[in-house]
Amino acid sequence: MKRLKYHPIGLDIGHDSVKMIQLERCGDALSVTAAACAPLPAEARVSPDTRLAIATTIIRQMFRQHPFRGRRIVTTLPREIVQIRNLRLPMVPLDTLEAAVRAEAKNILSFDPAEAQLEFLPVGEVRQGTESRQEVILLAARHQDITAFIETIGVAGLELAALDIEPCAMYRAIDRFIRRRDDELEVHVLVDVGLQGSRVVIGRGREVCFIKSIEIGGRHFQEAVSRSLGITVEESQSLRRRLCETTEDGATDSAPDEKDHVRRAAHDATRGVMEDLAREISRCLRYFSVTFRGQRPTRLRLIGGEATDPQLLATLDKMLAIPAEVAKPLLSFDTSRMKSADPTGPLAEWGLAVGLALKCVQGTFGPRDGKPRDPQAPKLELAPETAGIPDLSGTLRSTANILQSTAGNVDGAAARSASAYRNQVVLEVNRA
């Protein structure tokens, strides 16, 4: 029998809850060995610093109450300190691309790039008018913000195994379950609808191609209901949760009962906001279709705290060109030991935490919902690499770490510009 291996804990510090999940591997099988979710109080939403301070107290309690092994964690840099920008640069060789990105960063970032950690994802060649341009996703965070976050993690008694960014961690839950060559052509659309906002991530195969933040999320739904019904935002949150639960038990999602005045009022109050979100997502899909050649997405998957809202699903289905469904990030895992949630549900709110927990897990796995290969199907060949842009799967394009480990290591190709700052962080961590 193969020996079980426990991996670092995926830690998702959201705006309304803290989630922790730890995986173990035996051969090609993955299972959840421990998981915990705890809500954050309303006062935690005052500022990012307040949220982190309250979260550290909650994290200590979660360790005491749940059977996590060790204190090594993988987490993301807070969304507030990471700037993500799309660049279109002249076609240049890969060895000079970094200099071109840094030169352009001076014009589009709100801080001095010399005082920040910069990474980038070379997406590919696109057409701009009659010219060919290089599409690049720039990721940047200030050194002082990264250091302050690391110190806060240290106060909680945690050992930082790796830092990641949200979009790449989200996509990892798909990336690690791609095993066949023809699957490399499939286009995946993930939309994380959280409390403060939403994020669209589109990738082809294992490669992230598009990232877009949308300032519409659960808080905006709650505020719309609060204004319409004359109740507090907290009461609105509880009301929407109850309505979603009763809808899942058998009520209709897109056409509330005429006699259910509260449901109809809540439905009407959020309709406009949800349609605004659907329009923003539709623009993202159109941009991707126009910009990138090849296969088109066939479905959209929702993760995050709002993913199971039936009204949101119905709105997206009505307004988008592709169907929307609730993602099941833990479908291919053994969740029998998961006590903090119903293991039979979609568990879409765990999408980010699962991607973080997979960070230090090597290899790929067979999805339970995967279709068997058709031996009669023609073999699909991948398009040749774009000139001057080698395939970087497994390094920058699919991991995109801002920083890796308390020892100061940065994944693969991401290390090329980090050595000076890496030494600074090691000293800061050792002094903490």
| Phi and psi at residue 159, to the nearest 5° | -105, 120
pLDDT given at position 127: 76
Is the pTM for the entire model greater than 0.85?
no
The pLDDT tens digits for 45-97 are: 878 888 999 999 999 999 999 999 999 999 999 999 999 999 988 888 888 88
The pLDDT tens digits for 336-376 are: 888 765 555 788 999 999 999 999 888 777 666 544 444 44
Which domains can be identified in the chain, with CATH numbers? 5-177+332-368+383-431 (3.30.420.40), 222-268 (no CATH)
Q: What is the mean pLDDT of residues 8-22?
A: 94
Helix (H, G, I), strand (E, B) or coil at 33: strand
Q: Which residues lie below 8 Å from residue 158, measured CB to CB, with a gap of 6+?
A: 11, 59, 71, 72, 73
pLDDT at 258 over 50: no
For residue 322, give the DSSP letter: S
Residue 69 tokens read as 């092994």
Residue 372 tokens read as 């068997």
Angle CA 142–195–352, to nearest 5: 65
Higher pLDDT pick, 155 / 255: 155
Instruction: Count the helices and strands in the chain (H runs, E runs).
Output: 11, 14
